[in-house]
A and B are shown apart, each in its own frame.
Chain A
Amino acid sequence: MVHGELWTAKELFVTPNEYIYWSVQIVMYPFMTGLVAGAFVLSSLYHVFGINKLREIARFALVFSFALLFVAPVPIILHLQHPLRGVNVMMTPHFTSAIAAFGIVFSAYGAIVASELWFLYRKHFVDVALPLKEKQDKTPAEWLKFLVFCTLTLGVYDVSEDSLKRDEKAIKLLAGLGIPVACFLHGYAGFIFGSVKANALWMTPLMPVIFIMSAIVSGIALCMLTYILTMEIRKFMAKRKSASAPRHETREELQSAEVNVIRMTAKYLLFFLVFAISLELLDLIFRGYTATKSWDVLRSVIYGKDFTSIFILQYGIGNLIPLILFLTPGLTIRRAVIGVMFVLFGVFMMRWNVVIGGQAFSLTFAGYMHYHLPIIPHNIETLKEGLFGALGVFIMPFVLFYFMAKIFPVFDVKESH
């Protein structure tokens, strides 16, 4: 069977080779890179612009961005027909292609996040490694911990006031450098689509900017969601431990801190959300107003075939409802959770409507293609490029974050930068 034939239904005049070749994993790819970029920008708001109210979530966002970073290439690997040859992109990059930059941009970004994390947690590594070094009879688990943290210090044990000051400078520099790189990482994901002149829906110079804005929106939303989840777990733990261990913060302290952080972050979320919606609507209005050759088929897709997924799921549930939820005064945690979940869903639907919607009509402008997401996998292709493949990609960063938080503690570090 031809790749793509399984989930494509053709209607009216579609040429023989046309199928929905870019399926759900290509929806996941900009979604995940968007989360990476967004989480990083959120953390940089504190580190670079010194927005102190975001201090608590900044450290958290950086670690989460690092966890997401490793997941970003996974959808592409799952999508490639020859996944083992994926490394060819690094070996023989063909620089007229937007995808060829992936290796370079991705590695550069990874290096920046990794070094920023190192400067941020250097003191913590030393604090953990030194007492273990002194300790005489280490258990195997302690040996492992010692080895890991000893390696992570990279041999630097200088934690004097002076050197920590210099660390802070380095963090600021890296966070500043990271913003344009993060935007580039995601802007170029938008460029991959926006530069395809053969696709009437994709081709617009606005695409990279739209992608960056919605990326920041989704990144902030995911950080808020994960932050609330971890805080709830901590509150639960605090409740249980409050009697036995008085050194822990009380449940009420945590609660007020949480609400403050969430209200503050929600303001930034709103700002970027409004920006993203404006750009998307501008694009839509412009297409309708100029009404070039492709408009007839685009209109029938946007206002007809894909009406539900664009206007109800994306703009309605994904944008309008969160706007109302966040703009109503007195934001509560529960309302914020519902809001950010809708925002995340809305950004996912935006990626869906771009990637799948862009393939919903034929090159002939006289036919349509319908996408049927494979749900129950019955071979490797429907597993990789089906519901379970996409869910796997979505869950992966949370699993990674769980393990990373063991090395980079996001809450209990005293004297944070």
Chain B
Amino acid sequence: MISRRDFLKNTAKVVAGVSIPLAAIEILSPARVHAIKADSSIRWAFLVDTYKCVGCGFCVKACKNENEIPYDANVTRTWVERYVLTKDGKLFADSPKGARDGFISTKIDLGMGNFQDVKKEDIKKAFFVPKLCNQCDNPPCVQVCPVGATYQAPDGVVMVDRTWCIGCGYCIMACPYGVRFFHPKYHTAEKCNFCYHRITKGLKTACVQACPFGARQIGNIKDPNDPIAKIITTERVGILKSEFGTKPQVFYIGLDEEVR
């Protein structure tokens, strides 16, 4: 016959013993399961109007501050490129420091300490093109990550798990747009994530908010009433490097064939 004392003792042991392994099991709320499996009702897309960009670099500054990319490090999650085409058919392009400080000089940075001054009357056309992660529908960076540290959320945004990235650099090699780099402090792969911490709370990305001219806009392409989605779906927009089959989700108004 088991005494009450032993019964309580044993019960306590069993409860303690079972609860340890059970603690490893996470109970998911139905809402979270839905969010993970989901056909999400959100697909973030970005619209860049190159006609409106003046190359001030406010977006780059804002991005660096918002996302804690060391301000003086020569890497950046977003940048602005300047294209200058001359009448004799030459292309000059640069993005000094990712245009963090804007294009304050008319001289084109040729690298290795060389600069080229293009005379105003020689210019056929010139324009700025902001760049950021294209959050591709078919992201090659996610495909090549050997440990699954980079992944795509159901709403289309591609992110990096800094606690799991081994720093092999394969994703950096695989990205046709050159948006990835090693974070100077964490030494893991780093990229633009459309300010995921902001957009999931209903805010705009740091660069969208910082742009004084509305050259950058973000919206939900699955929402027919979204003004950005309307522009993307009803107007003539272009994408970068379609030949790679990555299905980029950053759309451009006023794209030129010279844009790389």
Contact = CB atoms under 8 A, between A and B. Distances in A.
A10 B170 CA distance: 21
A100 interface: yes
Contacts of A85: 147, 164-167
Given A16-B98, A21-B182, A364-B93, A102 B110 contact: no
Nearest to A363: B178
A16 B244 contact: no
Nearest to B149: A88
Interface stretch (B8-16, B73-81, B199-207, B228-236): B73-81
A16 B79 contact: yes
Interface stretch (B18-26, B39-47, B137-145, B210-218): B137-145
A91 B147 CA distance: 8
Interface in B79-107: 79, 81, 91-95, 97-98
Contacts of B166: 80-82, 85-86, 88-89
Contacts of B92: 13
A96 B168 CA distance: 15
Interface string A75-102: 0100111100110110111101111101
A88 B145 contact: no
Nearest to B182: A3
Nearest to B169: A21
Contacts of B140: 197-198
B255 interface: no
Contact of A97 (B74, B111, B146, B182): B146
A196 B164 CA distance: 22
Interface in A54-80: 76, 79-80
A17 B176 contact: no
Contacts of A367: 111
B75 A94 contact: no
A102 B146 CA distance: 9
Interface in A349-367: 362-367
A9 B175 CA distance: 21
Interface of A is mostly: loop
Nearest to B260: A364
Contacts of B184: 1-3
B180 interface: yes
A18 to B, nearest CB: 5
Nearest to B172: A21
Given A3-B187, A4-B182, A99-B144, A15 B168 contact: no
Contacts of B170: 97, 99, 192
Nearest to A79: B168
Contacts of A22: 169, 173
B238 to A, nearest CB: 17
A113 B92 CA distance: 55
Contacts of B93: 13, 364, 366
A6 to B, nearest CB: 11
B237 interface: no
Contacts of B131: 15
A18 B178 contact: yes
Contact of A199 (B75, B149, B173): B173
A19 B181 contact: yes
B161 to A, nearest CB: 10
Nearest to B108: A13
A14 interface: yes
A198 B174 contact: yes
Nearest to B176: A198
Contacts of A92: 147-148, 164
Contacts of A245: none
Contacts of A96: 142-144
Contacts of B169: 21-22, 79, 81
B175 A198 contact: yes
A141 interface: no
B173 A100 contact: no
Contacts of A363: 176-178, 260
A337 to B, nearest CB: 37
B176 A98 contact: no
Contacts of A89: 146-147, 166
Nearest to B168: A80
Contact of A82 (B95, B177, B181, B187): B187
B54 interface: no
Contacts of A1: 73, 184
B160 to A, nearest CB: 12
Contacts of A366: 91, 93, 260
Interface in A284-298: 293
Contact of B182 (A2, A14, A364): A2
A142 interface: no
A12 interface: yes
Contacts of A127: none
Interface string A215-245: 0000000000000000000000000000000
Interface string B111-152: 110000000000000000001000000001011111111000
Contacts of B94: 13
A389 to B, nearest CB: 16
A11 interface: yes
B111 to A, nearest CB: 4
A394 B98 CA distance: 39
B193 interface: no
Given A11-B110, A88-B166, A92-B148, 9 more contacts: A13-B92, A16-B75, A16-B97, A21-B182, A79-B168, A98-B146, A196-B174, A199-B173, A365-B260
28 contacts: A2-B182, A2-B184, A9-B111, A11-B110, A12-B111, A13-B260, A14-B111, A16-B75, A16-B97, A19-B181, A76-B168, A80-B166, A81-B168, A81-B182, A81-B188, A82-B166, A85-B165, A86-B166, A88-B149, A88-B166, A92-B147, A192-B170, A196-B144, A197-B140, A199-B173, A293-B243, A364-B93, A364-B260
Interface of A: 1-5, 9-19, 21-22, 76, 79-82, 85-86, 88-89, 91-94, 96-100, 102, 192, 195-199, 293, 362-367
Q: Report the 9 A-B pairs with minimum CB-CB distance, sorted nearest first.
A: A81-B167, A99-B146, A364-B260, A94-B148, A198-B176, A16-B98, A17-B181, A81-B187, A15-B178
